[in-house]
Chain A
């Protein structure tokens, strides 16, 4: 299956958002995930959110400093 990840066409076998995100980041609590233009609720069960062909997914890292 191909999705658009960080603006680039990406092949993945992940069937849900949790599986995909956990491969990309160390701590889910330190990212903001955008799926098809909306921000995912950090407290939601991302394993119940399916990834489908053509989905647009972006992950933004939250790092310390202010």
Chain B
């Protein structure tokens, strides 16, 4: 039995059978992963090179006693507190054009949850040629303006979530509510895609 007892057996089967990739385990990735696991996804590929720091605790799904731990390992521990029977493939690695495609080769859908614009662009350039759905985020900093965080389909395989403008480089802080909205929308898009619903 999966974590989500509200779904039909068919729906649970689809979500439990799919492998979802998470490129990044920070504000977007850690919160998106928690939503996915609560929704019933059991197979995740998670890639992140960073460690948990105090500044992460304002928005990321980590706890004070995890400061200093590798994010992929800390996130795995937290997700297993929700659902112990997860199949997690953890990659403590900085994603690059050389490793991005094989890291996520087995995934049905990939969530782009990186921080810098350069890294986001690199990942999209590396993964879009694979032809798999990618759920990306752009423009999530600051607070308020919840309804400006939109979901757009671009081309056949890219879903972009955010306002495409609110940039931390412009002095806007990454804060839990807005980052959380975007992460939840990314997870929501993944679930809808896997269950075959139009986005």
Residues of chain A having any CB pair with chain B under 8 Å = 29-30, 32, 34, 37-39, 41-43, 58, 60-66
**How many positions in chain B have a CB within 8 Å of any CB in the partner chain?**
40
Q: Are A30 and B125 in contact (CB under 8 A)?
A: no
User: B160 contacts which chain A residues (CB < 8 A)?
Assistant: 32, 60
User: A29 contacts which chain B residues (CB < 8 A)?
Assistant: 118, 121
User: A39 contacts which chain B residues (CB < 8 A)?
Assistant: 128, 154-158
B76 within 8 A of A: no
B137 within 8 A of A: yes
Total contacts A-B at CB 8 Å: 89
B168 within 8 A of A: yes
Residues of chain B having any CB pair with chain A under 8 Å = 24, 26-29, 113-118, 120-121, 124-125, 128-129, 136-141, 152, 154-158, 160, 162, 164-169, 172, 174, 179
Q: Are A66 and B158 in contact (CB under 8 A)?
A: no
Closest 8 CB pairs of A and B: A63-B167, A39-B155, A66-B115, A65-B141, A65-B168, A61-B164, A66-B28, A42-B125
User: B136 contacts which chain A residues (CB < 8 A)?
Assistant: 62
